[in-house]
Amino acid sequence: MKTLLTLFFTVVCLAQPQQVKNFLEESKPQYEARMKWWSEARFGMFIHWGLYSIPAGEWKGSTNHAEWIRTTARIPLTEYDKFVEQFNPVKFNPTEWVRMAKNAGMKYIVITSKHHDGFCLFDSKYTDFDVMAAPFKRDIMKELADACHKEGIKICWYHSIMDWHHPDYLPRREWEKDRPIAGAEFDRYVHHMKNQLKELLTNYGEIAVLWFDGEWESTWNTKYGTELYNYVRSLQPNIIINNRVGAGRSGMEGFTKAGQFAGDFGTPEQEIPATGLSGVSWETCMTMNDNWGFNKNDQKWKSTEDLIQKLADISSKGGNFLLNVGPTSEGVFPQQAIERLRELGDWMKTNGESIYETKASPFKDLEWGRCTQKAIDGGTRLYLHVFNWPANGKLTVPGILNEPKQAFLLADKEQLHLLVRRQEDALVIDVPAKSPDPINSVVVFDVRGSVDVTTPPIISAKFDIFVDRLDVTVKSERESFSLRYTLDGTTPAASSPLVTGPIRLTSTTIVTARCFREGKPVSGTVSSTFTKVSPSPGASVSGLENGIQYSYYEGDWNVLPDFSKLTPTKQGDIPAFDLSPRNQPEYFGLEYRGFVRVPENGVYGFSTDSDDGSRLYIDDNMVVNNDGLHGMKEVKGAVALGAGSHAIKVQYFQKGGGRELKVWLEGVKGEKQIIPETMLFHQK
265-299 residue pLDDT tens: 999 999 999 887 778 999 999 999 999 999 999 99
Share of the chain above pLDDT 90, in %: 86
> For residues 114 and 131, is the Cβ–Cβ distance under 8 A?
no
Q: Which of 509, 521, 531 is nearest to 482 (CA)?
A: 521
**Contact in structure between 539 and 648 (CB atoms under 8 Å):** no
The pLDDT of residue 541 is 87
Q: In what side-by-side order are the strands of the sheet with 154-160?
A: 240-241, 209-213, 154-160, 108-114, 43-47, 320-325, 283-286
Average pLDDT over residues 137-145: 98
Report d(CA 425, CA 410) in Å as an integer. Answer: 25
Q: Give the per-residue pLDDT at 684.
A: 81
The contacts of residue 518 (CB under 8 Å, 6+ apart) are: none
Whole-number pLDDT of residue 658: 74
User: pLDDT at position 174, please?
Assistant: 83
Phi, psi of 209 (to 5 degrees): -140, 140
Q: Is the pLDDT of residue 306 over 80?
A: yes
Mean pLDDT of 342-363: 97
CATH number of this structure's domain 2-14+30-354, picked from the four choices 2.60.40.1180, 3.20.20.80, 3.90.75.20, 2.60.120.260: 3.20.20.80
CA distance 563 to 571: 13
What CATH number has the domain spanning 369-448?
2.60.40.1180
pLDDT band at residue 19 under the 50/70/90 scheme: low
Across the chain, what does the average pLDDT equal? 94
Residue 249's pLDDT is 86
DSSP 160: E
Residues 6+ apart with CB under 8 A from 590: 550, 551, 552, 553, 579, 581, 582, 651, 652, 653, 661
pLDDT digits (tens, 9 = 90+) for 421-434: 999 999 999 999 99
Strands 465-466 and 526-532: parallel
Residue 20 C-beta-side C-alpha neighbours within 13 Å: 19
pLDDT of res. 572: 97
User: Same fold for the domain at 2-14+30-354 and the one at 458-532?
Assistant: no
Stated pTM of the model: 0.87
The mean pLDDT of 367-380, rounded to a whole number, is 97
pLDDT tens track for 180-212: 999 999 999 999 999 999 999 999 999 999 999
Integer Rg of the chain from CA: 28
Smallest Cα–Cα separation from 181: which of 173, 190, 192, 172? 172
Between residues 8 and 58, the one the model is more confident about? 58
Q: Is the pLDDT of residue 464 over 70?
A: yes
Task: Report d(CA 265, CA 242) in Å as an integer.
Answer: 5
Provide the pLDDT for residue 13. 43
pLDDT tier for residue 14 given thresholds of 50, 70 and 90: very low
Best CATH choice for the domain 544-683 from the list 2.60.120.1560, 2.40.160.20, 1.10.1740.10, 2.40.50.100: 2.60.120.1560
The C-alpha atoms of residue 222 and residue 245 are separated, in whole angstroms, by 8
Domain 458-532 annotated CATH 3.30.70: no
Residue 663 near residue 634, CB atoms below 8 Å? no
What pairing do the DSSP bridges indicate for beta strands 672-674 and 660-666?
Answer: antiparallel
Residue length of the chain: 684
Question: Using DSSP, how many helices (H) and how many strands (E) does the chain show?
Answer: 10, 34
Least confidently predicted of 249-258, 278-287, 350-359, 545-554: 249-258
- Spans of all domains in the chain: 2-14+30-354, 369-448, 458-532, 544-683
Average pLDDT over residues 216-221: 92
Q: What is the mean pLDDT of residues 249-261?
A: 81
Tell me what pLDDT residue 251 has.
Answer: 74
Does the pLDDT value for residue 12 go beyond 70? no
Average of per-residue pLDDT across 298-308: 98
Distance CA 285, CA 269 (A): 5
pLDDT value for 629: 83
For residue 5, pLDDT over 90 is answered with: no
Answer for the pair 372, 42: CB distance below 8 angstroms, yes or no: no
Judged against a pLDDT cut of 70, whether residue 7 lies above it is answered with no
Mean pLDDT of 438-459: 96
